[in-house]
Amino acid sequence: MADLNVQKLREVFENFKEEMGKGLVAADIFDKENLVPLIGYNSNPVACALFGKIYHFIHEAAREAGFPPMHRYYLIDMKDNKAVIVVDLHDDYLLGMLADFSKIQIGIVLNVVIPKVIREFNEKVVS
């Protein structure tokens, strides 16, 4: 597992929260192996464990089906303009979030926020 710069982790997570604004309902960065949150906003360890298991299931199912591997994220469309998005941040870490698409545009999340948090996490947090 990669070493983390905890101070930079906080900085990157705060930048992410700011980018998401009122559209962020909850979020956690957690490790892929133990599915335990490292940092969170309205943290939900049960969600980390469950959505981490789904990540591993999708990853394995795609491999067994001969599909290409998952790239950056999976998204589950929920009622009331909400969505669960699990982002593959790094070989060892995931970002899980509950977004409110009545308060932030989906295109901003998928095309601006997610690429930025992936880039910043890998450039600043892991070594």
The pLDDT tens digits of the residues spanning 70-121 come to 999 999 999 999 999 999 999 999 999 999 999 999 999 999 999 999 999 9
Q: Coil, strand, or helix at residue 77?
A: strand
pLDDT on residue 113: 98
Burial class (CB in 10 A: 0-12, 13-18, 19+), 6: exposed
Task: Kindly state the greatest CA–CA separation across the chain.
Answer: 40
**CA pseudo-torsion sign 68, 19, 17, 102:** negative
pLDDT on residue 2: 72
Type of residue found at 82: K
**H/E stretch holding 7:** helix 6-20
Burial class (CB in 10 A: 0-12, 13-18, 19+), 87: buried
Instruction: Note the pLDDT tens digit of each residue in 3-60.
Output: 889 999 999 999 999 999 999 999 999 999 999 999 999 999 999 999 999 999 999 9
Which has the closest alpha carbon to 38: 78, 3, 82, 66? 3
pLDDT on residue 54: 97
The 3-class secondary structure across 16-76, one letter per residue, is HHHHHHHHEEEEEEEECCCCCEEEEECCCHHHHHHHHHHHHHHHHHHHHCCCCCCCCEEEE
